[in-house]
Amino acid sequence: MRSFKQKHYKPMHPDLLRYSCQMALPGFNEAAQLRLQRSKVLVVGAGGLGCPAAQYLAACGVGMLGIADYDTVSVSNLHRQILYNAADVGLNKANLACERLSRQNPSINIIPVIEKITSANVIQLIDGYDIIVDCTDNFETCYLLNDAGVISNKPVIYGAIYQYEGQVAVWNVLNNEGLRSPNYRDLFPQVDATKIPNCAEGGVIPTLAGIIGCMQANEVIKLITGNGDLLTGKVLIFDALTMQSRIIGIGATTKTNITALQRSVNESTITFDELQKELIDNDILLIDVRSIQERDLDDIGGIHIPLDELGDNLQQLAIDKTLVFYCATGKRSAEAVKLVQQNLPHIKAFSLQGGIKDRAVIN
């Protein structure tokens, strides 16, 4: 009978056992895992991108994970925001996400941030973190996180989705020469948000959110552990229909000079219950900023001006009335309020909080 020498392996610390498969990777050892456990990552946006990104960052052992989102779950979120279910509708996303991720990995520190991020608080909110993961769905917050990251010398992992296409990039990473890689403003100096439909209007395939969110988590892991080629100085564009991707280079170092934050425009909101009371006693003009197709399906009254046409029709708005803009979820109507505040600051304007989904028709 052949005899075999028994191999002696150093037993793995119980705290590291759950990470044994990733620690078996070439170039990914115990030291890399400890870097993950010492890292502090803030995921901004607990929606389609933030759910998968946060799940994998929690699973891989990021030591401190912040989840920032002041929004609540709606029915239309459920097809792509996989941390939530039907019983969660109306509840805060950040609190729900932290509760579920804590059960997934109770050994890490997970912190909910339920404040809306603005120019007044963004520097303070990101101060305790090493890396910012931008999983937001609006341009104002995207620019705000980018600029705050540059000013605070923190990398930002960017992701975006629309219909069948997604984008991923890594902004503001320090290179060996002491220079920073490009940031969002190197790619898009400025975007007119009113000209670009969001997911509620243009649609999005749910699996794309999972793919791009996982790619963002992958870039965070690479950045922390020092493994692989980061998406710095370039943007990855992925097409979910063809399953093809391409990488576009945008340069080795930033060409922008960001020294201050752009002041956030105040977003005035009104709830559905408050609106019904105000309609009785006040002169209010309802303005639907959705597409014509959405209005045909669900209409609570008022006039119709799609968001992408609002800028050309501002002078037609009644200056003697209080304007209440509405859309499906409250995001486009918030953009409409900002547009009015920027161009007609003397007009009182509100956004219908949460939009009109799952709400009764106003008579």
Q: What are residue 248's DSSP bridge partners?
A: 235
Q: Are strands 165-171 and 156-162 parallel, antiparallel or unpaired?
A: antiparallel
| Residue 153, phi-psi category: left (phi > 0), alpha (psi -120 to 50), beta (remainder) | left
Choose among 162, 160, 157, 165: nearest CA to 183.
Answer: 157
Percent of the chain whose pLDDT exceeds 90: 58
- Token readout for 200 is 């509620």
Short-list 36, 32, 24, CA closest to 220: 36
As a whole number of angstroms, the distance between CA 65 and CA 59 comes to 11
197-222 tens-digit pLDDT? 666 667 889 999 999 999 999 999 99
Is the CATH number of domain 269-352 3.40.250.10? yes
Of the given ranges (107-111, 146-150, 357-361), which has the lowest mean pLDDT?
Answer: 357-361
What's the mean pLDDT in 255-269? 83
Q: Smallest Cα–Cα separation from 92: which of 125, 114, 77, 109?
A: 114
Residue 208 in contact with residue 202, Cβ under 8 Å?
no
> Which part of the chain is CATH 3.40.50.720?
14-249
- Annotation: CATH topology of 14-249: Rossmann fold (3.40.50)
CATH 3.40.250.10: which residues of the chain?
Answer: 269-352
26-30, 130-134, 352-356: least confidently modelled range: 352-356
Q: pLDDT digits over 86-144, tens only?
A: 999 989 999 999 999 999 999 999 999 999 898 999 999 999 999 999 999 888 899 99
Confidence band for 297, pLDDT divided at 50, 70 and 90 = confident
Q: Are the C-beta atoms of 54 and 142 separated by less than 8 Å?
A: no
Instruction: Give the model's confidence band at 2: pLDDT under 50 very low, under 70 low, under 90 confident, else very high.
Output: very low
CB 133, CB 41: distance < 8 Å: yes
- Whole-angstrom Cα distance, residue 290 to residue 91? 25
Spatial CB neighbours of 72, under 8 Å, sequence gap ≥ 6: 89, 90, 91, 92, 93, 354
- C-alpha separations of 132 from 28, 49, 330 in Å: 22, 13, 25
Mean pLDDT for the chain overall: 88
pLDDT at 3: 39
Catalytic residues: 199, 327
Residue 192 has pLDDT above 60, yes or no: yes
Exposed/middle/buried for 168, CB within 10 Å: 0-12, 13-18, 19+?
buried
Residue 334 is predicted with a pLDDT of 85
**pLDDT of 360 above 60:** no
349: phi then psi, degrees, rounded to nearest 5: -135, 145
What Cα–Cα distance (Å) separates residue 220 from each residue in 40, 60, 93, 201, 296?
Answer: 11, 11, 22, 30, 43
Number of residues that make up the chain: 363
pLDDT tens profile 150-174 = 999 999 999 999 999 999 999 999 9
User: Tens digit of pLDDT for each residue in 233-251?
Assistant: 999 999 999 999 999 999 9
Q: CA 329 to CA 340: how far, in whole Å?
A: 19
